[in-house]
């Protein structure tokens, strides 16, 4: 998606796509560099909110 000045701007689809790429990497055998302290922590519930579009 681009703005009027032709600058590229990220959308929610881009954010989700990048998150999916991270999950894909974790399924690879060569993902051994992932910090185990991040992988072993308790899950923290979170809610994402969509910003209001004023237009």
What is the per-residue pLDDT for 31? 54
Judge whether 22 lies within some domain. yes
Whole-angstrom distance, CA of residue 42 vs CA of residue 40: 7
Judge whether 11 lies within some domain. yes
Judge whether 2 lies within some domain. yes
Q: Helix, strand, coil proportions of the chain in percent (round to 5)? A: 35, 5, 60
What is the per-residue pLDDT for 35? 61
**Number of domain units in the chain:** 1
| Cα atoms found within 13 Å of the Cα of residue 45, Cβ hemisphere only | 0
Q: Which domain holds residue 3?
A: 1-39
More confident residue, 20 or 42: 42
Q: pLDDT per residue over 30-40, tens digit each?
A: 555 556 656 66
Whole-model pTM: value is: 0.28
**Contact call for residues 12 and 1 (beta carbons, < 8 A):** no
Judge whether 19 lies within some domain. yes
Judge whether 50 lies within some domain. no
């Amino acid at each position: 998606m681009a703005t009027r000045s032709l600058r590229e701007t990220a959308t929610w689809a881009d954010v989700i796509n990048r998150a999916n790429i991270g999950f894909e990497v974790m399924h690879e055998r060569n993902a051994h560099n992932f910090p185990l302290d991040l992988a072993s922590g308790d899950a923290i519930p979170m809610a994402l909110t969509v910003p209001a579009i004023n237009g």
